[in-house]
């Protein structure tokens, strides 16, 4: 038996008093390692641990599941980790298929963001990024299994890295917080010049960290009181003319469903939860006029998904529904992989929640990326990435644009969307270069006209990489999202993780670019009249 004694430091939550002053034993399975001494593993209350007994809850859990298995001492040894198929090894793509508009990799070299060299063999993934527009420092954070599990890790599940040259080089700054437990989301707040980072908190709830030294260090600022806070995401109102300037917004899946909270005092205190709906993967964004939009993934019967959106015009006090970005689309899932993973998964055993991302541009438009199975379950393509825009605050949406130009039925997944001014960057993982639909690359498209037209698909990753799993993570975990950035001077930073360093598990990479250098005429359909 592999195990570790972790002293419970903090006062009890609701029902966990019996754990205080005793020890919590997290029993590991093969490949698992105990958390290191610097990690503050708070025990979860029994009513929270009970969620692990509900298969429907578990099926749609995000970072919450890993936290609960650790904080409840219930690492699940019954779920198999899918092995790599025969002949499935790290490889390099043979080139671009005929007819592809892919520009290739002659542009920028991938830059590694994290530094976990030294034998960690641990994964860094699930990336988030923000920029201080005054000092020009860029701050990236990510799930970092090494901070949690490496004997010399810094504690907690989130690492972060700092760049002072717009992503050309990075300085890994170590762990963000000893009780951080994944699902990082970072913003830069113009009102005070500080970075704010939200995450799951070990033992339950959310944690909000703050960096007052320009991404050199983070410290715990607040732990908004809540039992459940899964896949939380932060947004900040940095708009100069907003009546709600400086507000922070946190959206997550709580006990009552998708909820939103706001802070009007720089993250020190948080409002009560405003319930928006049910589902997973909430994504908040703030428009230039201070309107708040939150989209999420809603599950219907028989493996269909929708992406509802709600809007707040009063600084997050109340929300009203606008129009879904997508309604009753087929959930992307590979049948065999989903059976093996016991959850929705893509080929190669990657668990997959097709969560949306939103962005707003200076022209007032709202933008969304989604992913779904375009041609029905069990046949053809499993997953494509799509874009829509709205110029009336979500009341209506433009005709859908498929962002990628892959002519095969291979996978495109985990789309990201970032904006600044009227420039948009979309990225996604893409398997078009591998006939076996296993090796993955990262692709990008850019719009410089507020999403009216999109430039050509651009391959960013310098190599195609196999999927490898960190045995210290949950089975089938290979990241749940990424986040890109468009800077104030319209440079773009794409960010992703892959397994090219085969003895170091996943690492985080960025590639930078100038939006104008890749934009061509775009808009292949040639008809912009329908875009209202």
In whole angstroms, the minimum distance from the beta carbon of 233 to Ca ion comes to: 24
Q: How far apart are CA 486 and CA 493, in angstroms?
A: 6
Q: How far apart are CA 97 and CA 519, in angstroms?
A: 21
Q: Does 291 bind Ca ion (CB under 5 A)?
A: no
Give the list of residues 6+ apart from residue 339 with CB closer than 8 angstroms, or none: none
In whole angstroms, the minimum distance from the beta carbon of 445 to Ca ion comes to: 15
CB 354, CB 327: distance < 8 Å: no
In whole angstroms, the minimum distance from the beta carbon of 152 to Ca ion comes to: 14
**367-376 burial: b if 16+ Cβ within 10 Å, else e:** bbbbbbbbee
Judged by CB, which is closer to Ca ion: 214, or 511? 511
**408-441 burial: b if 16+ Cβ within 10 Å, else e:** eebbbbbbbbbbbbbbbbbbbbbbbbbeebbbbb
Footprint on residues 497-516 left by Ca ion (CB under 5 A): 504-505, 507, 511
Footprint on residues 56-115 left by Ca ion (CB under 5 A): 105, 110
Q: Does 144 bind Ca ion (CB under 5 A)?
A: no
Q: Does 462 bind Ca ion (CB under 5 A)?
A: yes
In whole angstroms, the minimum distance from the beta carbon of 339 to Ca ion comes to: 17
Judged by CB, which is closer to Ca ion: 149, or 221? 149
In whole angstroms, the minimum distance from the beta carbon of 458 to Ca ion comes to: 9
In sequence order, the β-bridge partners of residue 159 are 142, 175
Sketch the per residue contact string, 217 through 236, with Ca ion: x for CB under 5 A, - otherwise: --------------------
In whole angstroms, the minimum distance from the beta carbon of 108 to Ca ion comes to: 5
In whole angstroms, the minimum distance from the beta carbon of 377 to Ca ion comes to: 6
Q: Does 116 bind Ca ion (CB under 5 A)?
A: yes
Q: How far apart are CA 338 and CA 346, in angstroms?
A: 7
CA triplet 52, 54, 59: central angle to 5 degrees?
Answer: 85
Q: How far apart are CA 222 and CA 202, in angstroms?
A: 14
* Closest by CA position to 383, among listed 343, 451, 436, 429: 429
In whole angstroms, the minimum distance from the beta carbon of 282 to Ca ion comes to: 25
Footprint on residues 401-420 left by Ca ion (CB under 5 A): 412
Residue that the structure tokens 């541009």 belong to: 361
Look up residue 91 and give its two tokens: 């490889």
In whole angstroms, the minimum distance from the beta carbon of 319 to Ca ion comes to: 33
Q: How far apart are CA 282 and CA 297, in angstroms?
A: 7
Listed ranges 230-238, 359-367, 371-379, 492-500: which one lies at the site for Ca ion (CB under 5 A):
371-379
Give the binding-site size for Ca ion (rule: CB under 5 A): 16
CB 12, CB 22: distance < 8 Å: no
Using CA atoms of 419, 422, 428, 433 in order, give the dihedral in degrees to the nearest 10.
-150
Q: How far apart are CA 152 and CA 37, in angstroms?
A: 9
Question: Which secondary-structure segment (H or E) carries 63?
Answer: helix 63-71
Q: How far apart are CA 107 and CA 98, in angstroms?
A: 20
Judged by CB, which is closer to Ca ion: 243, or 300? 300
Q: For residue 141, what are the CA distances in angstroms to 189, 218, 349, 468, 532?
A: 16, 11, 25, 21, 36
In whole angstroms, the minimum distance from the beta carbon of 505 to Ca ion comes to: 4
Footprint on residues 376-395 left by Ca ion (CB under 5 A): 380-381, 384
Q: How far apart are CA 496 and CA 129, in angstroms?
A: 11
In whole angstroms, the minimum distance from the beta carbon of 37 to Ca ion comes to: 21
Listed ranges 6-14, 96-104, 233-241, 457-465: which one lies at the site for Ca ion (CB under 5 A):
457-465
Question: Which secondary-structure segment (H or E) carries 124?
Answer: strand 124-131
SS3 19: helix
Judged by CB, which is closer to Ca ion: 450, or 513? 513
Q: Residue from 62, 115, 214, 373 that binds Ca ion (CB under 5 A)? A: 373
* DSSP, res 395: S
In whole angstroms, the minimum distance from the beta carbon of 232 to Ca ion comes to: 24
By the criterion CB under 5 A, which residues form the site for Ca ion? 105, 110, 116, 124, 373, 375, 380-381, 384, 412, 460, 462, 504-505, 507, 511
């Amino acid at each position: 038996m592999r195990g570790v004694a972790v002293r419970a430091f903090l006062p009890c939550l609701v029902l966990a008093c019996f754990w205080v002053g005793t020890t919590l034993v997290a029993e590991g399975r093969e490949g698992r390692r105990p958390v290191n001494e610097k990690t503050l593993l708070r025990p979860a209350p029994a009513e929270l641990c009970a969620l692990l007994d509900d298969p429907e809850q578990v099926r749609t859990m995000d970072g919450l599941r890993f936290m609960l298995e650790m904080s409840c001492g219930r690492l699940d040894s019954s779920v198999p980790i899918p092995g790599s198929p025969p002949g499935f090894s790290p490889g390099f793509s043979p080139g671009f298929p005929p007819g592809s508009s892919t520009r290739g990799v002659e542009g920028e070299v991938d830059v590694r963001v994290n530094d976990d060299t030294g034998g960690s063999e641990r994964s860094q993934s699930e990336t988030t990024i923000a920029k201080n527009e005054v000092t020009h420092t860029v701050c990236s954070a990510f799930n970092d299994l090494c901070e949690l599990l490496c004997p010399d890790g810094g504690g907690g599940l989130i690492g972060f890295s700092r760049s002072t040259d717009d992503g050309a080089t990075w300085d890994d700054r170590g762990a963000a917080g000893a009780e951080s437990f994944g699902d990082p989301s970072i913003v830069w707040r113009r009102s005070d010049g500080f970075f704010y980072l939200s995450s799951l908190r070990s033992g339950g709830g959310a944690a909000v960290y703050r960096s007052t030294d320009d991404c050199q260090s983070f410290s715990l600022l607040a732990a908004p009181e809540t039992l459940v806070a899964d896949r939380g995401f932060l947004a900040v109102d940095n708009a100069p003319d907003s009546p709600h300037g400086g507000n922070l917004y946190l959206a997550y899946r709580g006990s009552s469903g998708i909820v939103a909270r706001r802070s009007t005092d720089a993250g020190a205190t948080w409002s009560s939860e405003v319930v928006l709906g049910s589902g997973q993967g909430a994504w908040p964004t703030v428009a230039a006029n201070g309107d708040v939009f939150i989209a999420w993934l809603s599950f219907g019967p028989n493996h269909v998904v929708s992406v509802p959106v709600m809007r707040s015009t009063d600084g997050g006090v109340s929300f009203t529904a606008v129009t879904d970005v997508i309604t009753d689309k087929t959930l992307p899932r590979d049948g065999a992989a989903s059976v093996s993973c016991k959850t929705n998964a893509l080929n190669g055993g990657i668990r997959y929640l097709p969560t949306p991302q939103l962005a707003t541009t200076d022209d007032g438009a709202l933008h969304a990326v989604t992913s779904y199975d375009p041609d029905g379950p069990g046949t053809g393509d499993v997953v494509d990435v799509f874009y829509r825009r709205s110029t009336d605050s979500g009341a209506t949406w433009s005709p859908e644009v498929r962002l990628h130009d892959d002519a095969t039925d291979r996978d495109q997944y985990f789309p990201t969307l970032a904006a600044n001014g009227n420039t948009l960057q979309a990225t996604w993982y893409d398997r078009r270069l591998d006939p076996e639909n296993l090796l993955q690359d990262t692709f990008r498209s850019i719009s410089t006209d507020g999403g009216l037209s999109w430039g050509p698909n651009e391959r960013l990753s310098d190599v195609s990489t196999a999927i490898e799993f960190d045995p210290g993570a949950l089975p089938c975990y290979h990241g749940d999202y990424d986040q890109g950035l468009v800077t104030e001077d319209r440079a773009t930073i794409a960010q992703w993780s892959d397994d090219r360093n085969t003895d170091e598990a996943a690492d985080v990479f960025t590639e930078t670019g100038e939006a104008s250098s890749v934009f061509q005429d775009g808009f292949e359909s040639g008809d912009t009249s329908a875009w209202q």
